[in-house]
């Protein structure tokens, strides 16, 4: 049931009303207590989850420049639009980490969940965390990050042949943080802001943008941690 809710949430946001009963008749202090209670129990849903290691090289008002260490992912590429492909991809990958593998091993969830649009008819070999896309491709790739304790040799082999296991090599990424719903419209707005800012700064983009989601769908939209990131040519970047 949880999986169904989460995968469905990739397209349609859950209402915050059942979780946050703030009423106009309540005092400011009472409303503050409700907000604090909600933040404690839902705001940090994935704060303890393992994330990829990175170092912030530089930052400005629009984006950060980060150097990411290598990490492993399980990925699946499916046909479909922004909504339908995400729903199915999450189910496929969740089954894998919850034991649908040749070792029947259950693995811990990590963050973020990455997604990208395949911007050409031929799938690229990935050397970056997920990639620009102004194309109308109907193929989307989704990735779960694997725990750092694994290597490619020790990761359980998926039962589903659609799932690939691969190593994402170290790279330099431009990253824009944003909150809000996981809709395509919301994502595209911040993707465009990042890409436009990189053009304005004469920074060369060498991959397609990645949509990274860090929170559970049970976290309300205004408290979510989302990011759009893209690999850049580090030689084209000059810190100011």
Is residue 238 in some structural domain?
A: no
Q: pTM here?
A: 0.72
**Any residues with CB less than 8 A from the CB of 136 and at least 6 apart, and which?**
none
For residue 109, is it within any domain?
yes
Q: Kindly tell me the burial class for residue 85, based on how many C-beta atoms sit within 10 Å of its own C-beta (0-12, 13-18, 19 or more).
A: buried
d(CA 169, CA 228): 18
**Which pair of structure tokens corresponds to residue 145?**
């990050």
Q: Which two tokens stand for residue 104?
A: 């029947």
Look over the chain and give the mean of its residue pLDDT values, rounded to a whole number. Answer: 78
Residue 154 domain flag? yes
- The first and second tokens of residue 164, run together, are 């690939």
Is 12 among the domain residues? no
Give residue 49's pLDDT. Answer: 83
pLDDT score of 16 = 33
Domain containing residue 145: 70-168
> If you write DSSP's letter for every residue of 199-227 in order, what string do you get?
HHTTPPB-S--EEEE-S-TTS-GGG--EE
Specify the 3-state DSSP secondary structure of 45: coil
CA nearest neighbour of 6 among 109, 125, 156: 109
What pLDDT is recorded for position 118?
A: 77
pLDDT of residue 240: 66
**End-to-end CA, the chain:** 49
Measured over the CA atoms of residue 164, residue 165, residue 166 and residue 168, the dihedral's sign is: positive
Tokens standing for residue 172: 């330099």
DSSP 8-state class, residue 164: E
pLDDT of residue 27: 53
pLDDT of 138: 79
CA-CA distances (angstroms) from residue 142 to 29, 39, 40, 94, 149? 42, 28, 29, 11, 21
Q: How many CB atoms lie within 10 A of CB 28?
A: 7
Asked if residue 186 is part of any domain, the answer here is no
Residue 31 resides in a domain: no
- The list of the chain residues with pLDDT below 50 reads 1-25, 28-47, 121-135
Q: In the numeric block, which tokens belong to residue 86?
A: 């995400």
**Number of domains comprising the chain:** 1
**CATH number where 158 lies:** 3.20.80.10
In a domain, 182, yes or no: no
From the list 4, 11, 2, the residue with the least C-alpha distance to 115 is 11
Runs of H (alpha helix) within 75-207: 82-97, 184-200
């Amino acid at each position: 049931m949880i999986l169904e809710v989460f995968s469905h949430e990739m397209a349609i946001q859950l209402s915050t009303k059942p979780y946050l009963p703030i009423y106009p008749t309540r005092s400011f202090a009472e409303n503050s207590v409700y907000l604090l209670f909600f933040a404690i129990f839902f705001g940090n849903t994935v704060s303890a989850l393992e994330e990829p290691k990175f170092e912030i090289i530089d930052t400005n008002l629009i984006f950060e420049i980060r150097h990411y260490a290598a990490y492993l992912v399980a990925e699946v590429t499916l046909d479909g639009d922004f909504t339908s492909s995400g729903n199915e991809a999450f189910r496929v990958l969740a089954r894998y980490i919850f034991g649908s593998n040749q070792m029947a091993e259950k693995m811990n969830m990590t963050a973020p969940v990455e997604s990208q649009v395949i911007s050409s008819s031929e799938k690229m070999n990935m050397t970056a965390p997920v990639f620009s896309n102004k194309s109308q491709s109907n193929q989307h790739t989704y990735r779960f990050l694997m725990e750092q304790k694994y290597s490619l040799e020790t990761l359980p082999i998926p039962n589903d042949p659609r799932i690939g296991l691969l190593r994402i090599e170290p790279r330099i990424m431009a990253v824009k943080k944003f909150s809000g719903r996981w809709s395509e419209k919301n994502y595209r707005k911040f993707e465009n802001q990042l890409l436009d800012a990189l053009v304005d700064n004469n920074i060369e983009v060498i991959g397609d943008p990645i949509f990274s989601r860090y929170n559970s769908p049970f976290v309300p939209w205004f408290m979510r941690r989302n990011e759009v990131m893209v690999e850049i040519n580090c030689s084209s970047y000059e810190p100011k």
